Homo-oligomer: A and B are copies of this chain.
Amino acid sequence: MVRLSKRVEYALLAVQAMAEQAHALLSARDIAARNHISQTLLAKVLQQLAAAGYVRSNRGVNGGYTLAQSATTISVADIVQAVEGPDMALVDCQGSADHECTAEHVCTIREPLAVLQERIVATLASMSVAELANAKHLVPLVIEQQH
């Protein structure tokens, strides 16, 4: 399914929070509590974001995380790729190399799906973390039927 993992979901919640409170240090504990999610799992995701350079971490008492860049320069695609790894592939035979697209298994959807994949990445890149954070305020809070 075209679906984001919990790790990505947590990462998005985290960067959204950081974008709202720029210049503040938010701890994994705070963000986890605010969103009712696992603290340790979130911490790992934040470490990935730090390793990818989107987040700066500060250890020790009163430590925490901040965005390492402007929220306008980080896209949802960046976050997804930082957390899931860069070789996002719609199907197996798209990956960087040595996948099962061998002589006997010539998958005929390889090229068209490569095109689709590019478009999807572009779509994910079309939304910045700043937009992710602002949408919350901009979109009118419609009371829905269900839910």
**Residues of A near any B CB (own CB < 8 A):** 1-5, 9, 12-13, 16-17, 35-36, 76, 80, 84, 88-91, 96-99, 101, 104-105, 107-109, 111-113, 115-116, 119-120, 123-124, 126-127, 131-132, 135-136, 139, 146-147
Contacts and interface: CB of A to CB of B under 8 A. Distances in A.
A107 B31 CA distance: 12
- Report the 8 A-B pairs with minimum CB-CB distance, sorted nearest first: A97-B146, A112-B135, A111-B139, A119-B123, A112-B132, A1-B84, A4-B90, A9-B91
A1 B101 CA distance: 20
Contact of A1 (B5, B35, B104): B5
B105 A36 contact: yes
Contact of A146 (B2, B84, B98, B112): B98
Nearest to A9: B91
Contacts of A97: 146-147
Contacts of A12: 109, 113
Contact of A120 (B98, B101, B120, B135): B120
